[in-house]
Amino acid sequence: MGSEWHEHSFFLEVKPRAELASLFVDCPSEYAKAEGQLGDDSDKENEGLNMVRVSEHAVELGTPPYLAAGLQLERKLPRFRANISSLTFYPQSLCAPTWADNERLFMCKLHVEADGAPFVPKTFHRLARDICDIEPLEEYCKNANGATIALSCSQCGHPVVDVKPGSISLSCMPSDDWLETSQSADFYCRDSCGAACDPERHSKHRDGTESGKMHSDWYPNDKKFLLSHSYVAVNKESVIDPEICHDDRLLLCNGCNAELGTVVKNCHNIFLFHHAACTFSVNSKAFLTTRFNSISIFFAQFVLSSCEAQSSLKLVVRSLNKTPHLLIWLLDSYIVAASGELHDEESMEFEAEIHPFPAVKMLYKVFDAQSAANDPRANGEDASVGLVDVPLGCCLKLIECLLLSSFSLPLPCRSVGQFYVGFLKLAESV
């Protein structure tokens, strides 16, 4: 996530459906900074020659070289620049130049193209799938079989399971809510493959689909965990302390009392631990960072898949006690953004390239007790809003990610009415 908007920051936003991209550049008054250092009146007058210039792969701020060469200056005026990779700007298309924030913020429109990768609108389902297809979950589980598995509270590090190295195998669940929403986990194989995988076994009902008993192939045991993109399902026998379960519903850490997950409704021996609240690791490598590289990408997949599953662009994120904390309203299918700082051309950081990244843009609103009670989208009066319940720590981390993204935007672009504007990365670079 980019750093907070500051002096010489810039932000570029490209939308797949828009012909022109939006560029924002912070242009501080160099005269105010250099007051007392300038020589005669001609230097002070020339200080106002700062210009924002766009080339094919860079954004520049300062007096153009061809002008500076013809000026008689007692000191060299600084020039700032940012090199942007993977994108091509078309300077001749620049239009609608505007100043905002007391002539501190420069805004304009221009045409931008990606090098060899056209911007194509995508559905939320495809975006979520593209994130997960970098390494298929089935492949991850297969490679992890026989490895050392660990699960601990991400807040205090307290261990949750006690298993011997190499004794646990992993299998993947079709979706995050599969164990909760299917009629019963034992019907999955029969209904999804039509008994084609093993007709003889199905015909004799040896898998228990007709008896109503859950077959051992379809739920975790002391030698197998089930994994989805957001949860790890663990059998009660593998947990160090069974007292982790409270009210037959919530899973709380015995070390810090943080919410870790829930108990599966139709099988109280299966515990679901959320990846944002627990650290699930294979051979000491955390699942979340290995699969998604950053917490922002993980939450992007989580939000997109949740909205897709509930067929809604609006999503209320609640803690496990049903308290609403956050409302998310998805906007464009995705954007390509680049943010960073213009560096002095004489500094060592000048040569560094800034990598643009795809992101999902959204409006969001953080609830307090009063706004949650009065907002129809939070109290259940608006039926068009999807609901998702996650551990409190997950809610707070998601809010933190969105706030950090808002802080990287120019001040006039951070809010729309009662909503903040934020984004979550879909990848580290295009």
As a whole number of angstroms, the distance between CA 205 and CA 312 comes to: 39
Give 362's strand partners.
330, 422
Q: What is the pLDDT of residue 35?
A: 36
Q: What is the pLDDT of residue 428?
A: 86
Q: What is the pLDDT of residue 130?
A: 83
Q: Which of 417, 426, 410 is nearest to 12 (CA)?
A: 410
Mean pLDDT of successive 10-residue segments in the chain (430 residues)? Answer: 82 90 87 40 52 89 70 70 90 91 88 79 82 81 87 90 85 82 52 54 48 59 89 90 81 90 86 93 89 91 90 92 93 87 76 87 92 83 89 95 95 92 90
Q: What is the 3-state secondary structure (H, E, C) of 6-73?
A: CCCEEEEEECCCCCCEEEEEECCCHHHHHCCCCCCHHHHHHHHHCEEEECCCEEEEECCHHHHCCCCC
Q: What is the pLDDT of residue 182?
A: 56
Q: What is the pLDDT of residue 36?
A: 36
CA distances from 277 to 157, 188, 202, 259, 374 (A): 11, 28, 39, 7, 29
In 311-391, alpha helices (H): 369-374
